[in-house]
Structure 1
Amino acid sequence: MHRLALLLAMPAVLAAEPRLTILYHDRAPLYHLGHGGRLTGTVYANVRAALDAAGLDAQFVSVPAKRQLAEVERNQAPVCALGWLMTAERRRYARFSAPIHYERPWLVVTRRQHTVAVRQLGALHALLPSDRLQLILLDGASYGSYIDGLLHRQPAIRVTTDADNLLRMLDAGRGDYTIQPPDVLEHYLATHPESQLQSPMLADVIGEPLYLICSRRVDEDWLHRFNAALKVKRPR
């Protein structure tokens, strides 16, 4: 049986209060496996500190991003997923923590040869309907309520992978541009100095908070204790 299935199916007799599982996928530098296979990153450190301060027990398990939401929605066990945007659809089936990270304004990322064309269009709402450039996105990802609204019914290449691999694909010529948070691009450029990717900033691309998204089997008191211990500064 898959490791996650074993963890989520642990009999209740093992503990009066089932151990909560927090699902994650690598998103360096916020949370990712570092040297020695240990989970690290700025957001992970804040979440781990809040858990410890509140005396809450949780285990972190690596699971592909798209599957995380399916596990939360199934509501078969107390499970959360790390670093997700809040949307109206997700509020229908999940509970949310307080914000664990505030995104900086998102970037349109493109290869050097397309930078002038992107800048000429001037804003994301003008770029998306253009047939001059092909958009590539992560399948199943939300980019926040504002950007999702702009993306509605827009043609795009959608790929099932992580952000780092998506940028590799864009670098290699698949698609012409994508939308990413600054920290993802900064980490990619730092580890791929030969990259041809650049980031024209568009004024209408905004960042939104990230949360723990949790199944409804996660007790509200657990979330209250976690939120009370969480120390995250909102950017000015």
Structure 2
Amino acid sequence: MKFALLLATPLQLAATLAFAAPPITVAWSEKPPYYYIEDGMDKGFMLAYGKTVFAAAGIDASFVREPQKRIWSRFRTGTRNYCSIGWYHLAERTAIAQYSLPIYTDPSQMVLIAPKSVAQVQAHATLASMLADPTLTLGLLDGSSYGAELDARIKDSANRKMLSSVNSVGMMQMVAADRVSYMLSDRTDWNYTRIRHRSLDNVVQYEVPDVPPGLKRHIVCSKDIPAATMEKLNQAIRITPKPVPQER
């Protein structure tokens, strides 16, 4: 009897290991300085924060780089055991994903103008006026949201719209090359990128008063992630210092 009891412990351990939950896949999309690869290494202030939060929550996670459109395609098709870092809260997305507490608040968006379009764009003192001009071409990141309010205003805009699957740096380069008249840019992206890409020296930063305040970002997870796991994440978010952008 004692021998059987002694055997029970390793058998139980083996069974526990066999049925241990696989690590959660946590996807991120290239967006320097939030998340990016440099010299073959994963970097970025938001990516580092995400890894810290999952570790603090005691949640085993595997971090992978994926395009934005693929990430949201996975949520729509019901990929299980899946999360992603740093997304705005949009009402239509709550049907396919669950949101953590906020992890970061963006600064407000800004306008970046192509060299040959400076006078034409700066003839408009507000974003509303700019969006009403059918002679302007607005560069947009395909698959990205600019927040519910800006998304709606862009949808109703009279501008020509050029959608591109490039990341934010690629769109800035399209502005510099006069392929579009202007773009709306994350201020953190611009402050980081402009000092690393001299080809952007001819891009003009322009401030308008009617841009909405910066939005909060969250960790989003597939609907099958248990409530207890989401609470572990939220508790880790409560106790972990908020991320700070790297701009230089």
TM interval, shorter chain, is: 0.7 to 0.9
Q: 1:31 aligns with which of 15, 28, 35?
A: 35
CA distance in 1, matches of 2:121, 2:169: 22
Which residue, out of 80, 84, 88, partners 2:83? 80
Aligned runs of 1:37-56 on 2, under 5 Å?
Answer: 37-56=40-59
Is 1:101 the counterpart of 2:104? The answer is yes
**Equivalents in 2 of 1:234, 1:197: separation in Å?**
28
Equivalents in 2 of 1:234, 1:50: separation in Å?
11
- Quick check: 2:116–2:178 contact (8 Å CA) kept in 1? no
- Does 2:99 match 1:92? no
**Do the aligned partners of 2:107 and 2:186 also contact (CA within 8 Å) in 1?**
yes
Match of 1:214 among 206, 221, 240: 221
**Offset of 1:119 from its aligned partner?**
3.2
Q: Distance in 2 between matches of 1:89 and 1:47?
A: 24
Q: TM-score, normalised by structure 1?
A: 0.87
Q: Which amino acid aligns with 2:186?
A: P
Moved more, 14-23 or 215-224: 14-23
Q: Could you tell me how far 1:138 is from its partner in structure 2? A: 0.8
What pairs with 1:150-165 in structure 2 (closer than 5 Å)? Answer: 150-154=153-157, 155-165=160-170
CA positional deviation for 1:79: 0.5
In 2, Cα distance between the equivalents of 1:63 and 1:43? 15
Aligned mate of 2:208, from 202, 217, 222:
202
Unaligned runs of 5+ in 2: 1-16
What is the aligned counterpart of 2:128 among 119, 125, 128?
125
CA distance in 2, matches of 1:26, 1:52: 22
Whether the aligned pair in 1 keeps the contact of 2:121 and 2:181 (CA below 8 Å) is no
Q: CA deviation at 1:173?
A: 1.7
Query: TM-score scaled by structure 2?
Result: 0.83
After superposing on structure 2, the runs of 4+ consecutive aligned residues of structure 1 that deviate more than 4 Å are: 232-235
| Greater Cα radius of gyration, structure 1 or 2 | 2
What is residue 20 of structure 1 aligned with on the other side?
24
Number of corresponding residues: 222
Shift of 1:29: 0.8
**CA distance in structure 2 between the partners assigned to 1:108 and 1:59 by the alignment:** 36
Secondary structure of 2:101 counterpart: coil
